[in-house]
Amino acid sequence: MAFAPSTRPEVYDLLAVGFGPSNLALAVAAREHREALPEGDPLTIGFLERKPAFGWHRGMLLDGATMQVSFLKDLATLRNPASRFTFLTYLHERERLVDFVNHKTFFPTRIEFHDYLEWAATQVADQVEYGVEVVDVRPVSAGGDVEYLDVVGRRPDAPGELVVRRTRNLVIGAGISPVLPPGVEGSDRVWHSSELLDRLPSAGDARRFAVVGAGQSGAEVTAHLHDRFPDAEVHAVFTRYGYSPADDSPFANRVFDPGAVDDFHRAPAAVKEMFYAYHSNTNYSVVDLELIEDLYRRVYAERVRGDSRLRIHHMARMAHVVTKPDHALLTVETLLDGRQHDLEVDVVVCATGYEPMDPAAILGETAGLCARTDDGRFRVERDYRVTTGEHVRCGIYLQGGTEHTHGISSSLLSTAAVRAGEIVDSVARGRAADRVRT
């Protein structure tokens, strides 16, 4: 179901770029805001998404892989526990609520949670235009003030035809992009972990794999390949001495609470740096302890049998890799002494993370309206609105790219529901204020 042209407003109150979980939570919050109004005049809201359908890290929906956040941190519960868009409502409609309760877990599989997100996305699909890639945002002035933004996009099937949507407020939630190590290019034999499930059918009867990276994705890919290819060697290459466990203890987890966003936003710059120094091990380059222990059991059991398929190259890095017609030649450098050795493998999987989207690249010339910090990043208010001059009457909001102002959870599921509600409330207040002025 797509946004019907006949119901598309001439000017949106709120238009969002991207339709991942964060903007899906925004759609849910906006829908419930409209339903809560005692009478008409709801916010008009729409979304532009470059993909042809909703999807979230489909290449890493590995069997058995679980979420790292509680199911209660879904699209709505922390904002509105009575919402019809909660994970528990989804379970009830799928007739699995009792079974899930008996499962005694707060952490559903990633496959199940993705199904929940798709379930929610279908209920707000009338607000989404899929297959539109935003390429520019143009300010529209009236009487000296910037009143609107024209969001410009293209469709893959008609690249020469521009799609233009006008809005009073813009939310950028374009997500993150996979990152390969410096100097490494993807190929038929060198993949990013985000491509794993799409690429694996082409691996055929591969006998040797290398997995680069010490984080959760690297550990999950290592375990998955070890299971799926029972006769193949799997070489795990990472710069740490061993996999480091994620700190998910109760007090440390408070860094993901909505209240922590308030604390972080008002903290001095030096304190913000301390936040990251103290609590980066809750989210970055860390692995669930249960998975670490599982991988260690595998390594030890194979040593007992004298048949080591799972091989750990710690304190090591991928110096470079060359793709050959029938293999990839990976050069591994040991950091302890600088010595190098070559590994001939069928596939190299780089679980080397992601980088946040650059909002300036999406905004184009409109980025010039945004205030910057001393280090060149956008200034962002507590309600996720980018600071602009008084002559800019329209709002620009960010979902992602605000770690420097809102902390570790600023683009994660942990605060998605609350964050979405704050943005909707901010837009609604702004519209009400505009109508008072006019």
Predicted confidence (pLDDT) per residue in 86-111, tens digit: 999 999 999 999 999 999 999 999 99
DSSP character for 285? Answer: S
DSSP character for 306? Answer: T
What is the rounded average pLDDT of the residues 8-31? Answer: 95
DSSP notation for 193-232: GGGHHHHGGGGTT--EEEEE-SSHHHHHHHHHHHHH-TTS
- Distance between CA atoms of 12 and 166, rounded to whole angstroms? 6
Contact partners, residue 32, CB within 8 Å, separation at least 6: 76, 80, 83, 85
Q: Whose CA is closest to 238, among 198, 286, 280, 183?
A: 286
Least confident of 27-31, 200-204, 374-378, 428-432: 428-432
- Asked if 166 and 12 touch (Cβ cutoff 8 Å), the reply is yes
Model confidence at 3, in pLDDT bands (50, 70, 90)? very low
Is pLDDT above 70 for 241?
A: yes
Is pLDDT above 60 for 2?
A: no
- Distance between CA atoms of 271 and 203, rounded to whole angstroms? 47
3 state SS for 58-107: HHHCCCCCECCCCCCCCCCCCCCCCCCCCHHHHHHHCCCHHHHHHHCCCC
- Considering the entire predicted model, what is its pTM? 0.94
Model confidence at 1, in pLDDT bands (50, 70, 90)? very low
Q: Whose CA is closest to 28, among 94, 151, 139, 117?
A: 117
**Of all residues in the chain, what percent carry a pLDDT higher than 90?**
87
- Distance between CA atoms of 377 and 388, rounded to whole angstroms? 13
Q: What is the pLDDT of residues 358-413, one digit of tens each?
A: 899 999 999 999 999 999 999 999 999 999 999 999 999 999 999 999 999 887 89
- Asked if 396 and 416 touch (Cβ cutoff 8 Å), the reply is no
> 4 or 131, which is more confident?
131
- Asked if 167 and 16 touch (Cβ cutoff 8 Å), the reply is no
Model confidence at 431, in pLDDT bands (50, 70, 90)? confident
Q: What is the pLDDT of residues 134-163, one digit of tens each?
A: 999 999 998 889 999 999 999 988 888 999
Compute, in degrees rounded to 10, the torsion defined by CA atoms 5, 10, 16, 17: 70
For the chain, how far is it from start to end, CA to CA, in angstroms? 36
**The predicted structure's pLDDT at residue 149:** 97
Burial class (CB in 10 A: 0-12, 13-18, 19+), 332: buried
Alpha helix (H) residue ranges in 249-382:
250-253, 258-266, 269-279, 289-305, 359-363
- Asked if 16 and 408 touch (Cβ cutoff 8 Å), the reply is no
| H or E element at residue 120 | helix 110-123
- Distance between CA atoms of 297 and 426, rounded to whole angstroms? 51
Compute, in degrees rounded to 10, the torsion defined by CA atoms 291, 293, 294, 295: 90
- Distance between CA atoms of 110 and 163, rounded to whole angstroms? 34
Contact partners, residue 406, CB within 8 Å, separation at least 6: 261, 264, 265, 380, 384
- Strands 128-130 and 45-49 come out as parallel
**The predicted structure's pLDDT at residue 373:** 93
DSSP character for 44? Answer: P
Model confidence at 179, in pLDDT bands (50, 70, 90)? very high
What is the rounded average pLDDT of the residues 57-68? Answer: 95
**The predicted structure's pLDDT at residue 7:** 62
- Asked if 415 and 261 touch (Cβ cutoff 8 Å), the reply is yes
CA 253 to chain centre: 19
Is pLDDT above 90 for 305?
A: yes
- Distance between CA atoms of 83 and 85, rounded to whole angstroms? 5
Least confident of 1-5, 10-14, 160-164: 1-5
* Lookup result for tokens 């029972």: 230
Identify residue 380 by its one-letter amino acid code. V
Domains, the chain, in order of start with CATH, read 5-175+357-437 (3.50.50.60), 178-245+284-354 (3.50.50.60)
Model confidence at 273, in pLDDT bands (50, 70, 90)? very high
Q: What is the pLDDT of residues 25-61, one digit of tens each?
A: 999 999 999 998 867 678 999 999 999 999 999 999 9
User: What does pLDDT average to over the chain?
Assistant: 94
